[in-house]
């Protein structure tokens, strides 16, 4: 049996990158996975996340969702429960960025990044907790929330002011939910990736930025989406007992250096 056998999980931003890797890993471990994203086609190209999961014998459905819209997140969770009966794991991964510093960031850019990265996470946590409160505990837990933060929730995100601020907010939001709902038997943690190589276009894969990341990362390679998926699996599984409110670094030692 897999670590998530029989569990039901929602993963936002599941079409590409970290969300895609998390969803595929959860399905491989026995979870029925609901894929929430604005698009189905992966940035990396190739098959959709749903096709990859189903072709490997897993179970997945796709529910187009804009996490910044409460009604869409409400519908996402309602659809999940209607289809699978409950919600065991909520992964709030959907995010956007602008690659702009303070003076370059327009008000509309600021509002968009906050709407997706922070308000979207608020929506996901709130709606998940509402559902989990109605469920009977299984192995002392009503449900688990895994938020995707960043090492840039702990240190500044150079040249990306809105993104860094929202990731700092994610870390505190995670603590708040964990503490406020521990007595309800709802677990909430965050996973904080360091430099992970994904198909994300633009500054993230600039050769100079990659060289700097190699220099800053003690481990002799940069991260892969599967590294983050492994940590997200741990936090979603019964192995993470008595673990709540943490921000688990997956950064090859960057923050320890």
Strand partners, 92: 147
CA 22, CA 26: separation in Å to the nearest integer?
Answer: 6
SS3 labels along 164-196:
HHHHHHHHHHHHHHHHHHCCCCEEEEEEEECCE
| Catalytic entry in 26, 97, 163, 212 | 163
Distance CA(183)–CA(229), nearest Å, equals: 27
Q: What is the DSSP track for 195-254?
A: SB--S--GGGG-HHHHHHHHHH-SSSS-B-HHHHHHHHHHHHSTTSTT--S-EEEESTTG
Phi first, then psi: give them for residue 153, nearest 5 degrees.
Answer: -90, -10
Cβ burial, residue 239 (10 Å; 0-12/13-18/19+): exposed
Judge whether 97 counts as a catalytic residue: no
Phi first, then psi, for residue 108 (nearest 5°) are -70, -40
Question: Which three-class secondary structure state does DSSP give residue 159?
Answer: coil
Please list the active-site residues.
Answer: 163
């Amino acid at each position: 049996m897999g670590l998530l056998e029989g569990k039901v999980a929602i993963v936002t931003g599941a079409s590409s990158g970290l969300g895609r890797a998390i969803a595929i890993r959860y399905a491989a471990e026995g979870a029925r996975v609901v894929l929430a994203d604005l698009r189905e086609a992966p940035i990396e190209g190739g098959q959709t996340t749903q096709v990859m999961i189903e072709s490997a014998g897993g179970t997945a459905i796709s529910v187009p969702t804009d996490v910044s819209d409460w009604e869409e997140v409400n519908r996402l969770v309602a659809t999940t429960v209607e289809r699978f009966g409950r919600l065991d794991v909520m992964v709030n991964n959907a995010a956007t960025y602008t690659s702009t510093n303070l003076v370059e960031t327009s008000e509309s850019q600021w509002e968009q990044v906050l709407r997706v990265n922070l308000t979207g996470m608020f929506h996901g946590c709130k709606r998940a907790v509402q559902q989990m409160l109605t469920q009977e505990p299984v192995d002392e837990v009503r449900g688990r929330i895994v938020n995707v933060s960043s090492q840039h929730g702990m240190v500044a995100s150079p040249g990306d002011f809105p993104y860094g601020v929202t990731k700092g907010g994610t870390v505190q939001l995670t603590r708040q939910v964990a503490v406020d709902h521990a007595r309800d038997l709802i677990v909430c943690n965050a996973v904080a990736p360091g430099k992970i190589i994904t198909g994300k276009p633009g500054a993230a894969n600039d050769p100079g930025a990659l060289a700097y990341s190699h220099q800053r990362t003690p481990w002799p390679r940069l991260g892969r989406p599967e590294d983050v998926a492994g940590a997200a699996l741990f936090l979603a599984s019964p192995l993470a007992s008595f673990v709540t409110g943490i921000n688990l670094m997956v950064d090859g030692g960057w923050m320890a250096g």
